[in-house]
């Protein structure tokens, strides 16, 4: 009986530790993109880039950036940046392409 309690106690402690580790892993988020580095690659201020990227509505994920729209927005703001330059800067340091 005593040996059974020790086994049960050990199993409960192990299960609780596993559950705590799983909950922590689910709450982790990927690192945020380095927008200052991306803006520097485009030779524009970070706040100009952030304005052109826009903000998602609360509770929604940000939309995938459209390089041509961002290039157009930056050009209207007085910064001459090509679509290809925007595309390269956004991909730099980002996650690998999906297969």
In this predicted structure, what is the pLDDT of residue 96?
63
Q: Where are the domains of the chain?
A: 1-30, 35-91
| pLDDT tens readout for residues 15-60 | 676 666 555 556 787 778 899 999 999 999 999 999 999 998 899 9
With cut-offs at 50, 70 and 90, classify the pLDDT of residue 78: very high
| pLDDT tens readout for residues 1-10 | 556 677 767 6
The residues near 46 (Cβ < 8 Å, ≥ 6 apart) are: 35, 36, 39
- CB environment 14-29: b (16+ within 10 A), e (fewer): eeeeeeeeeeeeeeee
Question: What is the Cα–Cα distance from 27 to 52, expressed in whole angstroms?
Answer: 29
């Amino acid at each position: 009986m005593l040996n059974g309690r020790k086994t049960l106690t050990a199993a409960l402690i192990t299960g609780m530790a596993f559950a705590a580790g799983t909950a922590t892993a689910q709450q982790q988020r990927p690192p945020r993109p380095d927008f200052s580095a991306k803006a520097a690659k485009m030779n524009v201020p970070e706040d100009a880039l952030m304005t052109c990227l826009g903000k998602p509505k609360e509770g929604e994920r940000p939309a995938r950036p459209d390089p041509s729209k961002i290039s157009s927005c930056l050009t209207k703001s007085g910064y001459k940046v090509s679509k290809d330059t925007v595309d390269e800067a956004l991909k730099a340091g980002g996650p690998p392409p999906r297969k």
